[in-house]
Structure 1
Amino acid sequence: MPDYKAVFNQHDLFARRNGMAITECGPGWAKAEMTVQPHHLNGAGTLHGGAMYTLADFAFACACNTHGDLAVAIACTMNYHRAVQQGVVRVQIREVARTKRIGTYAAELTDENDTLVASFTGTAYARPGVPLPSLAPPQ
């Protein structure tokens, strides 16, 4: 099995640019985290909802692509429960159900005190036989 943690940490430039990293992953699940920086804050001085969404989406991308076929998001929902001003935000995502082409995933985002700050659900569409581009053999 490829080292999906390394693949996503190296090739997802948007997540990397925003200080996000996959910390662990396996078939159908992933964990990621980010340390809140001043450029992640919104006008109210709290972590921007888009930053939390990006962290969840990054973990979702890793989790749904650990089966060897390219998978892409087709629907996502994010619920915000608490504001975050500083510290580390972590996400854990797991596969809830999967068929040949459709997978459903659920995630919880927590602050550094393990307080739930947001929840995320995502649905992915897999393309059997199509590898993740960063794992495809050179042509």
Structure 2
Amino acid sequence: MTHHAKPRPFTLEELTAYLVDVFPQIWSRGDYSIDDVGPMSATVRLAYHPDHLRPGGTISGPAMFTLSDLALYVAILHELGRVKLAVTTSLTINFLRKPEPRDLIGRAKLIKLGKRLAVGEVALFSEGSDEMAAHATGTYSIPAKGDEGA
């Protein structure tokens, strides 16, 4: 018996192009990029910019939250394809240490991908650090077939 990996609906380049098309406001300045996608996973980068800092010289909580949410969305789309109406139903983030003022990397892993819900986690790291700066868990609602909004 042979097992074949499920074909992904997007290559990395196709996924990036799709996201720029359906969600241009998040990509317009060039702050975010997709470093990698894999089975049930995605790695997304927030490029360092002083606008992302909070007092004290660390990356702000809202910037970290956005990166976590985006990384989960990318992982879900990589699995499901053109489902732009998948929406966040919950996202919880634990801030573990102050991230350095440099690129922030979000590594998302989907824990469960069902017909109507996706559950995942994201580990955030400052570029070059092995210590997690934050950990997020999130749930997305997946639209019923025919309601995808593709």
Question: What TM-score results when the alignment is normalised by the length of structure 1?
Answer: 0.83
**Shift of residue 132, structure 1, vs aligned partner:** 5.6
Aligned to 2:61: 49
Gaps of 5+ in 1: none
Code of the aligned partner of 1:75 = S
Selected match of 2:19 from 8, 33, 44: 8
Aligned to 1:126: 142
CA contact under 8 A between 2:100 and 2:126: conserved in structure 1? no
Q: Percent identity?
A: 27
Q: How many residues align?
A: 134
**Shift of residue 6, structure 1, vs aligned partner:** 2.9
For 2:98 and 2:146, locate their aligned partners in 1 and report how far apart those are by CA, in whole Å.
Answer: 39
Distance 1:78 1:130, change over 3 A: farther
Distance 1:108 1:126, change over 3 A: same
Deviation track 1:70-99 (CA, whole Å, cap 9, x = no partner) reads: 421101101111112312210110110122
**Shift of residue 12, structure 1, vs aligned partner:** 2.9
- The alignment yields a C-alpha RMSD, in angstroms, of 2.1
Aligned to 1:31: 43
CA contact under 8 A between 1:94 and 1:106: conserved in structure 2? yes
Selected match of 1:96 from 93, 100, 111: 111
Code of the aligned partner of 2:93 = M
1:105-116 → structure 2 map (5 Å cutoff): 105-112=120-127, 113-116=129-132
Question: What TM-score results when the alignment is normalised by the length of structure 2?
Answer: 0.78
Quick check: 1:60 aligned with 2:75? no
Gaps of 5+ in 2: 1-8
